[in-house]
Amino acid sequence: MSGWMRKRFWTSVSVEAIEPGYTVTLDGRPLRTPAKAEFIVPTRALAELIAEEWRAQKELLEPVTMPATRSANAAIDKVRGQHAEVAAMISDYGDADLLCYRAQGPEGLLAREALTWDPLIDWAHHRYGIRPQLCHGVVHAPQPPLLLDQMRADVLRLSAFELTACHDLVAMSGSLIIGLALIDRFASPEALWRASRVDEDWQIEQWGPDDTEASITEGRRETFMLAARFYFALQRAPG
């Protein structure tokens, strides 16, 4: 059993305002991160989301059921001190974005990719003034440097908490465009997740599901959706 997984030792969970944001208290004592830093999040909405995770714990703490707590800890203990490095890692997806690599066939798959992905390519074109370059196959096709610079600037502007969510959005979907489009509220998280699965869903339709792969996919989907929930909780006005 992990040392972090210990018995529940508190009765009450509360959210309190504390400069420069909000914290969660257990029997009046504020949480600390695993690195013993102050646990302060930017919005009451996120603090309430985290508080609900602590209230839901039974006799033993189960970290797997506390994704918002884990993400907040990561933002405070890790991302905040490595902001530029994390932003660069996320931005690197832009030069090999899933949506820019189209299949070589069959026609049905090509049509489905175009129907689902072209609106996202159009969104990127409208936002950045430069259209992402598309190719067929898997050979790397570099994107326009100015487009990459502008997408990187958007990523760099994110706070440590937003960057933590963005990392999961991009890593789980394989697309920087999808991650940035979600942040821009271009479409719902569910629609954007489905967009990231066009090729895989086509293969399942042709050959049938694989139970092991389905389990992995569901885990990735859950991580994507939780990251979206975490990000949107950051956007809700304090108070």
Per-residue pLDDT of the chain (239 residues), as tens digits, is: 234 457 889 999 999 999 999 999 999 999 999 999 999 999 999 999 999 999 999 989 999 999 999 999 999 999 999 999 999 999 999 999 999 999 999 999 999 999 999 999 999 999 999 999 999 998 999 999 999 999 999 999 999 999 999 999 999 999 999 999 999 999 999 999 999 999 999 999 999 989 999 999 999 999 999 999 999 999 975 54
- Enumerate the CATH 3.30.2180.10 domain ranges in the chain, comma separated: 13-69
Classify each residue of 184-217 as buried b or exposed e, where b means 16 or more C-beta atoms within 10 Å of its C-beta: eebbebeebbebbbbeeebeeeeeeeeeeeeeeb
Superfamily of domain 82-235: ATP12 ATPase (1.10.3580.10)
DSSP three-state, residue 161: helix
Q: Quick check: bond before 106 cis, omega within 30?
A: yes
Q: Read off φ and ψ for residue 179, nearest 5 degrees.
A: -60, -45
CA-CA-CA-CA torsion sign (159, 61, 65, 204): positive
* 166 touches 182 (CB < 8 A): no
- Enumerate the CATH 1.10.3580.10 domain ranges in the chain, comma separated: 82-235
Name the region of 27 (left: φ>0; alpha: ψ -120 to 50; beta: rest). left
- pTM of the predicted model as reported, rounded to 2 decimal places: 0.94
Superfamily of domain 13-69: ATP12-like (3.30.2180.10)
